[in-house]
Amino acid sequence: MQNATVKSPSDRAVHGLYRSGKDWLCTVRAVEGLQIAAALRKLPPLPAETRGWRFPAEDTAVLVLADNPNLVLRYRPPNPEFDLVQDSAGGPPRTPFQKQLAARARGPLVRAEQLKLDRVVVFEFGGEPGFVDAPPVKLIFELTGRNANLILTNMEGVILGIDRPVGADQNRYRQLRPGIRWNPPPPYAKLDPHSLNESDLEGLVGRPLVRALVQTVDGIGPRLAAETARRAGLEPQHIIRREDLAALLRAISSLVQNPHPHSAAPVTGWREETAAALRKPLLAALERRKKTLERRLEDYARARADASNADVWQRYGDLLLAYAHEVPEGSREVTLEDWEAGPVTIPLDPALSPSENAARYYRRAKRARARAERSRREEPRTRTELENLQREIARVRDLPLRELQQLLRQQRPRETAQPGLRLSAPGGFEVWVGRNRKENDWLTRSAHSGDIWMHAQGIPGSHVIIRARGKPAPLDTLIFAARLAAYHSRARGEKNVPVDYTRKKHVWRRKGAAPGEVFYTQAKTLFVDAEAPEA
């Protein structure tokens, strides 16, 4: 895509190429065309030195500039945003595309171009030399609602990486995927708000105000159209009359200078939305723990109530043992004379003998007393934990973004051991052995295309990977790995077990197949005894 050449102030506004002065130290949130244009005017003079990327979330990238403000690109639909902020919260890349962005979009920010007043911005990076040179690239930010995307291309416009590839099954007319040329969104014809006059607005007469502005004036979306109505002193659904055109023209002119709505309702920005997204799983975990503690306190209350029945159940057991000879077989209840309280009716299990029913009541009494004792011992500690948890929930609700990120990093579990057995084979090759379906699936997917994959022929068992990376493996290495494959299968202990092996690139898993279930071609077979080799 050719960059536009700025020849006059009006051209500057139409093409959106900005090399602004020193009046940029502010925070701007841009979601519609005129707001994006205003945000670009706040950039420092270009080319501007950059200091790399930071990533607060999987859908947000922050370009750190040597001179503030920093660029924040929130690129996931349906609410993309382009912000300028003073700080640079965030951490390392979180997605493969973010890793590619951090590695390739480097060097000075040379140009920042908006296509007309559309919601499409093209950033050009000058590249930088290094151990591996980073050539100049373009980063295209499409802030187009549900079709929002962030696209990395070379200087000729060929896509190098993209956050959300778009195939023919999603859009027949405009595909976006690595390897093809990026084409801008379809062209359109709208009025330029920088050079409007009343006669240009004649076509709006008789139409609803908000809809007419969105469909007719470039850079104005639903929010700015509603703001235009407010500044013109009209209702958003007002039917435009000829006498309204002068007020509308003044409102649009003021919107070009300051396109940010003066609304009493605060607009949630990327930082607040990112903080809310990070806060949600933390609060969910805390709320689950809170419910657990509340249920535990309810159990303690029931245990104390049951403790009052323990003496009754103990008495039932004593009476049943004392009058066992008087209890009829198969009775569902019996009335016995308590020498202290008079006649007592005792429910019975007809399948049990009197002594077994007595033992059952003794056990119930013992358990009730034990639960009551445990509840008296544990309840103060549980109540203290619940109070602390409620304070923590209140604290997390108010934590700012940076502290939320620190809290998540502290709670992130340490890296666990790598799955599978890792053995050293003759010849110096490393051998991986899966011990279950999940490990088989993980090891096979993680293997290099030039690694050697092995499996006992037609028998459930482990996937075995020789980490060859395309190098030829000697026979003793192959036999070592084949014996492992045979040993870790249902053929363990048998003789002359066939073991197939092939390069990993000839192994695949069909869509919908269970973990560890694969197909392979171009295999050879070794016959080995299914005994563990000496490692």
- Which residues, in sequence order, are bridge partners of residue 17? 113
pLDDT score, position 262: 62
pLDDT score, position 124: 94
Higher pLDDT, 102 or 281: 102
Q: What is the mean pLDDT of the chain?
A: 83
Tens of pLDDT, residue by residue over 43-70, are 888 898 998 898 888 888 999 988 778 8
- The DSSP secondary structure of 37-92, one letter per residue, reads HHHHHTSPSSSB-EEEEEEEETTEEEEEESSSPEEEEE--TTS-EEEEESS---BS
Tens of pLDDT, residue by residue over 445-497, are 888 989 999 999 988 999 999 999 888 899 999 999 999 999 999 888 888 89
Higher pLDDT, 174 or 414: 174
What torsion, rounded to 10 degrees, do the Cα atoms 519, 525, 531, 533 define?
A: -100
Tens of pLDDT, residue by residue over 175-196, are 999 999 998 888 888 888 888 8
% residues pLDDT > 90 (the chain): 23
The number of residues in the chain equals 535
pLDDT score, position 413: 52
pLDDT score, position 463: 95
Continuous segment of H or E residues that includes residue 527: strand 524-528
Tens of pLDDT, residue by residue over 142-179, are 988 888 899 999 999 999 999 989 888 888 888 999 99
Q: Could you tell me the domains of the chain? A: 9-162 (2.30.310.10), 193-253 (1.10.8.50), 270-404 (1.10.287), 421-528 (no CATH)
pLDDT above 60 (res 15)? no
What torsion, rounded to 10 degrees, do the Cα atoms 265, 268, 272, 273 define?
A: 140
> Which 8-state DSSP code applies to residue 134?
B
Tens of pLDDT, residue by residue over 329-383, are 888 888 888 777 788 888 998 888 888 888 998 998 888 888 888 888 888 999 9
pLDDT above 80 (res 233)? yes
Q: Work out the average pLDDT over 425-454.
A: 90
pLDDT band at 5 (very low <50, low <70, confident <90, very high): very low
pLDDT score, position 13: 32
- Strands annotated E in 228-273: none
Tens of pLDDT, residue by residue over 261-299, are 765 444 445 567 677 777 888 888 889 889 989 998 998
pLDDT above 80 (res 417)? no
pLDDT band at 21 (very low <50, low <70, confident <90, very high): very low
